[in-house]
Chain A
Amino acid sequence: MSIQAGLRRRFDGTYPVDEWGLDRDLVELMSPLVGLRWATDARGVEHLSADGPAVLVFNRRFGLSEPFVLARGVRLAADRPVRFVGAPDIAPVGPALRRFGAVLGSHAEVAGLLRAGHLVGIPLERAVRHRHKAGRLPVEALAAALDAAAPVVPVALVGREVTRRWVVAVGEPLSPSGQGPLAEVELAEAVRRAVQDLLDEALPAPRWPL
């Protein structure tokens, strides 16, 4: 898409916006600028199917870059948009973030996205002090995935806020083993462990663990 055609579509209103507010034209228009901030190297994207729903569980340190890195990495490598939860439902931040794929973290919103066959990124809890550690995953975070019987894919994001290069390592999908509270807990633990394994592969063990 040429910049001229993109701008023309914005003026005419003929650009596509989906029901959750994702504006693919804007994402493409901004892509060269965003590329100046984040350069992503995605590995293991063959684990993502060409269509159909999935929950991508990813680690985060401060949580500022990670959602955008995940969305950009998967979009460039697999040509699929990723919705990441955590948008505040307050203008102007919420609607602006929605244009780039952010959605609310509520069960109803995530369940709706999965029913419609989208990829949804759900972060682990922040691990600010330990870059090489995957945080916990709240048990209720995967309830929508279990309801929709959607595969859960671990993703490790390796990079630093102050540098540009990030690695997006996608692991093998885990399928829910059944329904019920125990299945949720087991799945949450399994996916956290899988993210940790991916991090261990991508990051050498620190010489002086903090």
Chain B
Amino acid sequence: MKGMRVVVSGMGGELGTRVTNLLEAHPGVEAVMGIDLDPPRRRIPRATFHRVDPRDRRRVVPLVEGFAPTAVVHLGVYEPNARSAPATAAALTEAAAVNVLGAAARCRTLDRIVVRSGLEVYGRARGAPIRPDEHVETRPTCAFGRSLQRVEHVASAAARQAGVPAARLRLATVVGPHVPSPLGRYLRLPVVPIGAWSALPFSLLHQEDAAAACVRALETGADGALNVVGPGAVTADQAVRLGGRVPVPVIGPGWLVARMAAELFGAPLPDHVRELLVRGRCGDGARARAVLGFEPAQSTTDVVHQLYEWAEVVQLDPAHRDVA
């Protein structure tokens, strides 16, 4: 891995920015170019960033082709209600995959693809295993899962066209104090509606582990689907209690009320998050450990604890304005 030229789509997300910073510090990376709707969340001293709507094919395609990438890290996956409304998120995800990966597949320089996917692609239909490995067929049961499945299909088609490996990283839900995520906002409500008697466990992933997995997949040139999951699991009731919040058991039509109330308080509840809270979502990360030689350092419980670690608001005394 020497002299790599990497396109990072979705650089404006928390994961995209972190991956960019890691690649900037990587001795094998010659240049990094980013594309996204939103600007990066931290400084990017070496990378170039283009603030482009991924749906704008006329701008995206020449940018990618002109850069002559040797690798693409496609993180342009927009979670519903994270930073965009569900319909917009689905359109952005679809367009970003087709435009970025489609353009990259035409570049003769390309030798590997890494795509961000998620455990949502497996679906949680009745009878589906709660901790699937990569051999389990993908049958998504939520809109976000279907979007991710489409991204994986596009990535596989692009990889076939270019004759290169494509690592499809099926990440567990990433939450953290600085990650815009509907699950994070929902769990931080003071009173949290959860499924009464139906809460099954789910696993989470720390943003640093997610970023490290992306870089590792790029280094190794891994191929195929890989579940990247933090060790351990929690139930919704447990997560709420760990955060010192009050769980409110909800059944059936009570979810309609709970959903409306949560939205009023700034924490809309998309269907993939409700599915996770009620039906659980874990994954077998053994293949990723073997292929990438990498194990997530932070457990699911650690991620939950960190989610609730907000910096306290410090009231400044007007007499000490110079402090600010």
Contacts and interface: CB of A to CB of B under 8 A. Distances in A.
A200 interface: no
A13 B241 contact: yes
B200 interface: yes
Given A104-B129, A108-B136, A112-B284, A14 B197 contact: no
Interface string A101-118: 000101011011001100
A96 B201 CA distance: 12
Given A92-B197, A95-B198, A108-B136, A18 B130 contact: no
Given A91-B197, A91-B198, A92-B197, A21 B130 contact: yes
Contact of B240 (A13, A20, A96, A106): A13
B197 A89 contact: no
B81 interface: no
A167 to B, nearest CB: 33
Contact of B130 (A20, A90, A92): A20
Interface stretch (B40-48, B88-96, B143-151, B230-238): B230-238
Contact of B131 (A17, A20, A89, A95): A20
A13 B241 CA distance: 5
A12 interface: yes
A64 B130 CA distance: 24
Given A89-B127, A112-B132, A13 B201 contact: no
Contact of A89 (B126, B241, B242): B126
Given A19-B201, A91-B198, A12 B242 contact: yes
A15 interface: yes
A19 B198 contact: no
B245 to A, nearest CB: 10
A90 B200 CA distance: 11
A18 B201 contact: yes
A135 B242 CA distance: 46
Instruction: Give the size range of B's interface with the partner.
Output: 20 to 34
B130 A115 contact: no
B282 interface: yes
B302 interface: no
Contacts of A90: 126
Given A109-B129, A109-B130, A12 B201 contact: no
Contact of B237 (A13, A14, A18, A116): A13
Given A13-B241, A15-B238, A21-B280, A112 B203 contact: no
Contact of B233 (A17, A89, A95, A111): A17
B151 to A, nearest CB: 23
A17 B126 contact: no
Contacts of A111: 133
A108 B284 CA distance: 11
Nearest to A105: B127
Interface string B267-301: 00000000000101010101000000000000000
B242 A115 contact: no
A24 to B, nearest CB: 13
Interface in B200-239: 200-201, 203, 232-235, 237-239
A18 B129 contact: no
B196 to A, nearest CB: 8
Interface of B: 126-133, 135-136, 195-201, 203, 232-235, 237-242, 278, 280, 282, 284, 286
Given A90-B126, A108-B129, 6 more contacts: A12-B242, A13-B237, A95-B197, A98-B200, A108-B133, A111-B133
10 contacts: A11-B241, A12-B242, A17-B201, A18-B233, A91-B197, A92-B198, A106-B129, A109-B129, A115-B284, A116-B284
